[in-house]
Amino acid sequence: FGMNCAVAGASYFVYDYKLEPVILCILYSFLTSKVSDSILRGGKEQLKFEIITSDYDKMSREIMDKLHHGVTVLPAVGMYSGREMKMVVCIINKHQIAKLRNIIADYPGSFANVTQANEIFGNFKHIK
């Protein structure tokens, strides 16, 4: 997309200093890159949440009940405080971010790291 924008910007001089063809070219490049990305990814975007909390059992149950996703709990130690905590790992769909943020907000002292998960493999059971 960036390279296409550079070529479109250079074409400003070719089209006798007219902005309309340049803007249309940039718009076309943006739309085609977004559509091709969604086709290649299958339209699904997943996010991986790594949540550090001391109330891992309640939070895990709430995530499974409200979002219908499984969670993994790992041991974690805060190096600054030396406290033992747990890290709750959960992969959710992009449209569930607000629900998970609300769940995390209910547990003071908890925080999360969010990364984009490109692909998820496995034989998962659906939680109902």
Per-residue pLDDT in tens (0 to 9) along the chain, 128 residues: 888 888 888 888 888 888 898 899 999 999 998 888 777 766 567 899 999 998 999 999 999 999 988 899 999 998 888 888 999 999 998 889 999 999 999 999 899 999 988 777 776 666 66
C-beta pairs of 114-120 under 8 Å, 24+ apart in sequence: 114/47, 114/48, 114/49, 114/50, 115/47, 115/48, 115/50, 116/45, 116/46, 116/47, 116/48, 117/46, 117/47, 117/48, 117/91, 118/41, 120/46, 120/91
Q: What is the pLDDT at residue 62?
A: 95
* pLDDT value for 118: 76
